[in-house]
Structure 1
Amino acid sequence: MPARQTTAAAARAAVVAAANATKGLEAALRGAADDIPDGKPDGRKQRWQQHKEERRAELVDGTLTAVRALGADIGMDEIASHIGVSKTVLYRYFTDKNDLNTAAMVRFIEVTLLPRLTEALIDDVDEFTMTRAVISIYVQTIADETQIYTFVTSSKFSSPTVLADSEKLIAQVVAFAMNERLSHRGLDTAGFETWAYALVGGVQLATHWWMVERTLSQEQLIDHLTMLVWTSFVGIAEVGGSAAVFNSREHPLPEFGVAPSTTAT
């Protein structure tokens, strides 16, 4: 199968896996209170559950619109007013602001961040171009959605478990694409999940730090992150992905003091 078809097939599978994981995450976060008991399914309850899911999604989309318009410190009264419903309606579908915040995070990842990242991961480009594109899209999306990002990661309302699970969704997509790319080149991919989770976690934490501190430009952040991730890929490729080969080698640092020339001779 041609490389492009292989990558596209892998990406489609990754999209399905990510979508399923997102749905599973949201259900788990709501708890088991809405679960259908064992035995014969209750048709009316199933219909109500579907209606509830659809209504929740509408209210979450409205919340994201309200946050974009009014800022990350928006309260439940302001959210309800901007959507055009009473606060009582919000509390009918969300137990509190934590619940709404969690649903907003999942929705943002599902409909905004993951589709953009996946599109970059399935593009028929070389590995370096793809690496920089994925990092650029992640940073740009977060930078473009400053109010949303602040709202869903607020220390007052966010849950460490939810944040970890949301990061897991992104890492799973990256891991799948990485495994396909490396295995297609004949590398040992035993460590692909470790690599994906470490790299995604590093990029996310660095971007979070940058969103708070802003001590360098967005382009500089992308440059530094690309350098970190790409040199990791190169190091993995040099040993064929094998930890045994890596451990059998010496690991001297290159000579310091003179920066390599950036101009062609």
Structure 2
Amino acid sequence: MPARHTTAAAARAAVAAAAHATKGLEAALRATAPAEANGSKTDGRKQRWTQHKEERRTELVDGTLEAVRVLGADVGMDEIAAHIGVSKTVLYRYFTDKNDLNTAAMVRFIEITLLPRLTETLVEDVDEFTMTRGVISVYVQTISDEPEIYAFVTSSNYASPKVLADSEKLIAQVVSYAMTDRLSDRDLDTSGFETWAYALVGGVQLATHWWMVERRLSQEALINHLTMLVWTSFVGITEVGGSAELFNAQEHPLPHFPSDAAP
């Protein structure tokens, strides 16, 4: 594919799409806060108190992330509270239980670490192959840099399936938007972009999760294999103009392998 210069408008649109998707995670975070009494009239004092609680929750979540980095993914509420310098009672004043705290930590990690890095890479003025490898590298590197936090927020004991699904949806939406922006002006059928974005994001996430647990190959090898998978998918899609009908109408023999070439 020829290189394409990303316009400032496209960059702003991609960032706006990411910001819009993030609202779902912010709502999930707010939903974990203690509910206000129904039917009570909102006044200035209540609004200030609500803002204070949200700010305090954020401080405690940031402290939790730091505690996990230092003490490990299996850290308990007592250890988290001690590391932050508060009593466990304070934690339970803002979080109903460890599931609640875990959910808030997951949201915070995505909002302040993963999403900004991915968004920045998606709007860089580079050719499509460089962007593809860059996005994969950023995702793998971000997860690799924070192994304890990754294990903490994806723990089967505490992780919220809804927020995990929301995080996958968020990333897939941003990738889908980037694909549309990059490829829709090339007279491609874009009806499959959302499907492909979810499939690619899900595949990269699952492969990275497997790698984080098993570590059977180097980080560079993982990035190489994932880039090969994603890029060849893009090439195959563009060769048929994104048309499933044209793809299905073709014959599908395996290509010649490099070893079949004559010496």
Compute the displacement of 1:247 (Å). 1.6
SS of the equivalent of 1:240 reads coil
Report which stretch shifted further, 43-52 or 199-208: 43-52
Amino acid at match of 1:16: A
Gaps in structure 1 of 5+ consecutive residues: none
Find runs of 4+ consecutive structure 1 residues off by over 4 angstroms: 35-40
Give the 3-state SS of the residue equivalent to 1:205 in structure 2: helix
Deviation at 1:155, TM superposition (A): 1.4
Letter aligned with residue 201 of structure 1: G
* Cα deviation code 1:219-261 (max 9, x no counterpart): 0000000000001101110111111211221111113471779
* Matched residues, number: 258
What is the CA–CA distance in structure 2 between the aligned matches of 1:259 and 1:153, rounded to whole Å? 44
Distance 1:20 1:242, change over 3 A: same
Aligned to 1:238: 239
Distance (whole Å) between structure 2 residues aligned to residue 95 and residue 206 of structure 1: 33
> 1:60-112 CA deviation, whole Å, 9 max, x = no partner?
00000111111111111110011111000000000001100010000000000
C-alpha deviation, 1:47, in angstroms:
2.5
**Partner of residue 180, structure 1:** 181
Q: What's the RMSD between the two structures over aligned residues?
A: 2.0
The one-letter amino acid paired with 1:109 is I
Structure 2 SS opposite 1:72: coil
Distance in 2 between the 1:232 and 1:72 partners?
A: 35
Partner of 1:14: 17
TM-score w.r.t. the length of structure 1 is: 0.91
- The CA deviation at 1:42 is 4.1
- Partner of residue 25 from structure 1, selected from 23, 28, 51: 28
C-alpha separation between the residues in 2 aligned to 1:202 and 1:255? 26
2:157 — aligned with what?
Answer: 156
1:63 to 2:64 alignment = yes
Question: C-alpha deviations, 1:192-234, integer Å up to 9, x for none?
Answer: 1111111000000000000000001000000000000001101
Measure how far apart 1:145 and its partner are: 0.2
Question: Residue 93 of structure 2 corresponds to which residue in structure 1?
Answer: 92
Q: CA deviation at 1:13?
A: 1.8
The match for 1:168 is 169
Q: Distance in 2 between matches of 1:16 and 1:212?
A: 31
Q: Tell me which amino acid in the other structure corresponds to 2:170.
A: L
Aligned counterparts of 1:50 and 1:243: Cα–Cα separation in 2? 50
Distance 2:14 2:191 in 1: 19
CA distance in 1, matches of 2:260, 2:100: 51
1:191 corresponds to which residue?
192
Query: Which residue is equivalent to 2:115?
Result: 114
| Structure 1 match to 2:141 | 140
Q: Identity rate of aligned residues, in percent?
A: 72
2:214 corresponds to which letter in structure 1? E
Is the contact between residue 10 and residue 180 of structure 1 (CA under 8 Å) also seen in structure 2? no
Cα contact 2:25–2:166 (8 A) shared by 1: no
Contact kept? 2:144, 2:212, Cα under 8 Å: yes
Q: CA deviation at 1:50?
A: 1.6
In structure 2, the CA distance between the partners of 1:254 and 1:52, relative to structure 1 (3 Å rule), is: same
The TM-score normalised by the length of structure 2 is 0.91
